């Protein structure tokens, strides 16, 4: 006949099996393969321990007591090891690990005493033999969570702290309760057994859910970071690290709208490296790429915080200058030309680079940057025709 406690144990085994399936889906879908293996192993060990404990009336005591409690200790410790990895906590101290091993050894010794003259010792000390190492594991877990996780703490961290606290309470009640029982009453047949089992199952449920929640949170955070990186990559020139045309167009639309609202000027420069084909033909394309990066750095040194420098294409750059009229834009262009003239490049055997620059401003009534860019482009070609190494206003 199945007792209420056995029924509760079997229900706990079913609960842990459901957690096993939920965890498998959540952990593997988020790419946490290594922690997932630990977590799944831990839950499987707990399930096996609960099943063995539930069959104490049909299985030998060595299996249903020593092996079951050893599996329980190993399973809970493995679950905590999974939690350390998922929450990014430093590992527990070595003494906690040896406490677990020692508890299993004590169980084996107590079982040997059971067959000699130690029935009373077994009944009193067996719960402590598995309860002390589990309590130490829960204590180290709570210590790491409270000291290494940021505040405000996430929902997963709060669940994890609740699970650890329940484990600590469970093992304290189970160990202390056995000492208070009269004679050699088996704690599994005592009134505290139901309470201990319910708190234990609740603690493992909270801990497993905590790990699932944390993995989901980290998975979402990782996905958001990837999306942000994709957006950055889509708007950045991979060679120079500058904005590309897409980002310049987006920034231009925002700045033109702002300029119309606040009635301030906005200018644009188009800059083209002179005789860049000669650089590639003489020194090679790899050197040409270095020159492009160096020119980008030199031009960027003249920028204000809200200016936008972009690689327009090939050896051509574009510079968006909010709150800047045509005279100020030509001043920026002249400073860039002076900086280039005074900066010989070692990759060009000490030679320098010059640029031709066209400048234009967004006219009153224009709602886009494109007309100003067209005028700047025309001014740029005038600078080329008039001898290069100069800036001309549209």
The catalytic residue positions are 315
> Could you give phi then psi for residue 360, rounded to 5 degrees?
-155, 160
Two structure tokens written together for 162: 């609740």
Partners of 356 in beta bridges: 272, 390
Two structure tokens written together for 323: 């709150």
d(CA 26, CA 41) in angstroms, rounded, equals: 15
Determine which helix (DSSP H) or strand (DSSP E) holds 357, and give its type and residue range.
Answer: strand 355-361
DSSP state of 65: I
Q: Which residue has the tokens 């031709």?
A: 356
Among candidates 163, 30, 128, 140, which has minimal Cα distance to 93? 140
d(CA 293, CA 314) in angstroms, rounded, equals: 12
Among candidates 43, 9, 388, 363, which has minimal Cα distance to 209? 43
Instruction: Report yes or no: 144 and 164 within 8 Å, Cβ to Cβ.
Output: no
d(CA 318, CA 335) in angstroms, rounded, equals: 15
d(CA 100, CA 28) in angstroms, rounded, equals: 29
Three-state DSSP class for residue 348: helix
Q: In what order do the strands lie in the sheet with 308-313?
A: 308-313, 316-322, 266-273, 355-361, 390-393
CA distances from 378 to 211, 314, 359, 363 (A): 62, 18, 9, 16
d(CA 394, CA 388) in angstroms, rounded, equals: 16
């Amino acid at each position: 006949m199945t007792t209420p406690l056995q029924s509760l144990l079997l229900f706990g085994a079913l609960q842990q099996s459901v957690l096993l399936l939920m965890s498998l889906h959540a952990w593997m879908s988020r790419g946490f393969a290594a922690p997932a293996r630990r977590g799944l192993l831990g839950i499987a060990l707990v399930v096996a321990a609960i099943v063995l404990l539930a069959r104490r009336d049909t299985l030998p005591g060595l299996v249903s007591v020593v092996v079951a409690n050893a599996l329980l200790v190993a399973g809970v410790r493995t679950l905590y090891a999974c939690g350390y990895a998922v929450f990014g906590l430093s590992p527990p101290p070595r003494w906690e690990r040896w406490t677990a091993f020692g508890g299993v050894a004590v169980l084996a010794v107590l079982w040997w005493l059971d067959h000699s003259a130690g029935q009373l010792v077994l009944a009193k000390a067996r719960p402590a033999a598995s309860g002390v190492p589990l309590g130490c594991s829960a204590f180290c877990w709570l210590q790491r969570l409270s000291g290494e996780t940021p505040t405000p703490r996430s929902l997963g961290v709060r669940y994890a702290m609740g699970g650890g606290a329940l484990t600590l309470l469970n093992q304290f009640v189970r160990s202390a309760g056995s000492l208070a029982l009269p004679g050699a009453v088996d704690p599994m047949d005592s009134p505290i057994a139901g309470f201990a089992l319910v708190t234990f199952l609740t603690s493992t449920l909270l801990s497993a859910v905590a790990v699932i929640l944390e993995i989901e949170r980290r998975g979402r955070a990782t996905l958001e970071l990837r999306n942000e990186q994709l957006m950055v990559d889509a708007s950045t020139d991979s060679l120079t690290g500058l904005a590309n045309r897409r980002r310049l167009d987006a920034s231009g639309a925002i700045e033109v709208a702002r300029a119309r609202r606040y009635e301030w000027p906005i200018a644009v420069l188009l800059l083209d490296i002179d005789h860049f084909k000669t650089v590639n033909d003489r020194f090679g394309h790899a050197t040409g790429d270095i020159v492009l990066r160096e020119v980008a750095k030199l031009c960027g040194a003249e920028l204000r915080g809200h200016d936008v420098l972009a690689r327009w294409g090939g050896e051509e750059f574009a510079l968006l200058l909010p709150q800047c009229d045509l005279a100020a834009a030509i001043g920026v262009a002249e400073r860039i030309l002076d900086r280039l003239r005074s900066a010989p490049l070692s990759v060009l055997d000490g030679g320098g680079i010059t640029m031709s620059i066209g400048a234009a401003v967004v006219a009153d009534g224009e709602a886009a940057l494109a007309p100003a860019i067209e005028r700047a482009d025309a001014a740029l070609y005038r600078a080329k025709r008039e001898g290069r190494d100069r800036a001309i206003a549209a």
